[in-house]
Amino acid sequence: MMPRAKLILPLMLSLLCSVAEGQVPVTPAARPETLLASPDAKLANNKKLVSDFWREVVDAGQIEQIEKYVAENYIQHNPNVATGRRALAEQIAKNVKRQAVQARIKAPVVSIVAEGNLVVVSLVSEIPDPADSSKTYTTTWFDMFRIENGKIVEHWDSALKLP
């Protein structure tokens, strides 16, 4: 009789391979504005703070608004951006052309979740398929923010170090 691990390992590998090729596309929330609601006023306020920051500063490049949302001693965990509010403003100014603020976050939003002083935003990200450059696939991008005294004080995301 074959040991159980020898039976399970090929089955698991087969399932993983078929999942990778048969991915279900990431679907955004139909009405992302409803994701800002919460029966807890503090959680609703934290979600709105992050959403407004994203729309005004990240999407619209209105870096003069950054002090309204981000603490001066802001801690950055993205390996491509220096820590501190000023460094974040410089990074955004370099990469985002100033434009009008939109009613919604530009990227399709999957979810906005708040717990305690943390807010997690998940977005649909469309990426070129490395196996076929004429195709794309969707994946989910995650950003997490820590809020203190009505300001964003810390940020994590799924960014990889750029060359």
Helix residue ranges, H only, 39-82:
41-53, 66-69
Would you say domain 25-157 falls under CATH 3.10.450.50? yes
Structure tokens at 16: 């993983």
pLDDT per residue as tens, the chain (163 positions) = 445 545 555 545 454 444 445 689 999 999 999 999 999 999 999 999 999 999 999 999 999 999 999 999 999 999 999 999 999 999 999 999 999 999 999 999 999 999 999 999 999 999 998 989 899 999 999 999 999 999 999 999 988 888 7
CA-based nearest residue to 50, from 96, 112, 115, 94 = 112
Q: What is the DSSP letter of 12?
A: H
CB 44 within 8 Å of CB 124: no
Name the helix (H) or strand (E) containing 111. Answer: strand 109-115
